[in-house]
Chains A and B, each alone.
Chain A
Amino acid sequence: MNTEELYQQRLRRYLTALRNERPDKIPIRPFVAEFTAKYAGFTCQQVAHDFNLAFEAAVRCARDFDWDAVVPNMVYVWTGLTQAAGLRYYGIPGIHVPHTTGFNYIEPPEEEAFMREDEYDALIADPTAFLYEVWLPRVSTEIVKPGQPATYRSHLALVKSAMAMMVYFNAFGPQIQRLRTECGTVSAIAGIFKAPFDILADKLRGYVGLTLDMARQPDTVLRACEALMPHLAHVGLTTADPAKQVPIGLWMHRGCVPFVNPAQFRSHYWPTLKPCIEEFWRHGHQTMFYAEGKWDAHLDDFATLPERSIIFHVDQGDIFLAHRKLHHKFALSGGIPNVLLSYGQPEEVRAYCKKVIDEVAREGGYILDAGAIMQDDTSIENLRALTDFAREYGVYSGAPTDGPLLRPCDGADVSELVGLSDRPAPRVRPGVCLPWEAKLKELPPLSGDVDLLRRVWENVDALGNTYIWQLLLSF
Chain B
Amino acid sequence: MSTPDLQPLYDAVLSGDAKTARAVTEQALSAGVEPLKLVQEYMVPAMGEVGRRFECNEYFVPELLLSARAMKAALELIRPLLAASGAQPAGRVVIGTVKGDLHDIGKNLVAAMLEGGGYEVIDLGVNVPPEKFVEVAQEKNANLVAMSALLTTTMPSMRTTIEAFKAAGVRNRVKIMIGGAPITQRYADEIGADGYAETAAGAVPLARKLAA
Contacts and interface: CB of A to CB of B under 8 A. Distances in A.
Nearest to A207: B105
Contacts of B184: 339
B200 to A, nearest CB: 10
A375 B60 contact: no
A104 B103 CA distance: 11
Contacts of B153: 101, 342, 375-377
A9 interface: no
Contacts of B66: 211-212, 215
B152 interface: yes
Interface residues of B, number: 21
A211 B65 contact: yes
A264 interface: yes
Nearest to B63: A261
B198 to A, nearest CB: 12
A215 B152 contact: no
Contacts of B16: 215
A316 interface: yes
Chain B interface SS verdict (over half): loop
Given A208-B65, A338-B152, A259 B181 contact: no
- Interface size band for A: 20 to 34
B211 interface: no
Contact of B181 (A106, A260, A316): A316
B152 A259 contact: no
Contacts of A372: 152
Contacts of A375: 151-153
Interface string A127-166: 0000000000000000000000000000000000000000
A208 B152 CA distance: 24
Contacts of B102: 104, 106-107
A471 interface: no
A257 B60 CA distance: 7
B89 interface: no
B62 A214 contact: yes
Contact of B152 (A207, A212, A261, A377): A377
Nearest to A375: B153
Nearest to B151: A375
Interface in A31-52: none
Contacts of A343: 152, 155, 187
Given A101-B100, A207-B105, A208-B65, A338 B182 contact: yes
5 contacts: A211-B62, A212-B66, A260-B60, A372-B152, A375-B152
Given A259-B61, A260-B62, 11 more contacts: A211-B66, A214-B62, A215-B62, A215-B66, A258-B61, A261-B60, A261-B62, A339-B184, A343-B152, A343-B187, A375-B153
Interface of B: 16, 54, 57, 59-63, 65-66, 100, 102, 105, 151-153, 155, 181-182, 184, 187
Q: Which 9 A-B pairs rank lowest in CB-CB distance, beginning with the nearest?
A: A258-B60, A261-B60, A377-B153, A258-B61, A338-B152, A342-B152, A211-B62, A339-B182, A377-B152
